[in-house]
Amino acid sequence: MFQRSAGLCLALALIACLWLFAGCAPPVVPPELMEQVDQKLTLPQVRDNPQENMNKTVLWGGRIIRTVNKKKGTLIEVLQIALDSQDRPKTGYESSGRFIVAMQGFLDPEIYHKNREVTVVGQVVGVELLPVGEIKYKYVLLRGREVKLWQKRPDVVQVYPTGGFYGGFGAGPGWGAMGPGPYPYWFAGPYGWW
């Protein structure tokens, strides 16, 4: 009886340890750098008051628009997106604007390519009007201290049921009056095909 309860306790302790370690992902930003970040400072605040916020350190993220290599380093243009609790950009495209971060060294544009998600720690060095199409856009410029390139999110594949009669005169199971598919996009109501 004693061996059984000791084995059970050991198994429970092991499960508890695994559960604790699973929730302890390494931080995106080193703690010593995170201490320097002004976490309340937003992109619109810096864009509207660049002089007041000069040299402050921010933690922002978003999706890469483009990456350009220069002699002095790499410029990454980012569409800003709010960060989640793990400091990763949230899904979706709700944004407060664009910013450019200058990183030392070479970052391969085939890796840091359009739509990849990044989280950046950088120091505010100014605001500059630069062209976007035929207009001038006010970019916040950052001197990059740290950049985290996130793994691509898995593709979401929607699976629809097959078979059955889904409206209209069909050619068989899974076929509507306008062709194959379970949910005919042309169907305007319960009697849309009349």
Q: Kindly compute the dihedral angle of the four CA atoms of residues 55, 61, 65, 68, in this order, to the nearest 10 degrees.
A: 50
At residue 53, the pLDDT reads 96
Domains of the chain: 31-149 (2.40.50.140)
Tell me the residue type at 36. Q
Q: What is the DSSP letter of 76?
A: E
Report if pTM > 0.75: no
Separation CA 100–CA 24 (nearest Å): 31
Q: How many CB atoms lie within 10 A of CB 26?
A: 5
Percent of the chain with pLDDT over 90: 60
Q: Which ranges of the chain have pLDDT less than 70?
A: 1-26, 160-194
Q: Please list, in sequence order, all residues whose beta carbon lies within 8 angstroms of the beta carbon of residue 158, skipping any fewer than 6 positions away.
A: none
Q: What is the DSSP letter of 88?
A: P
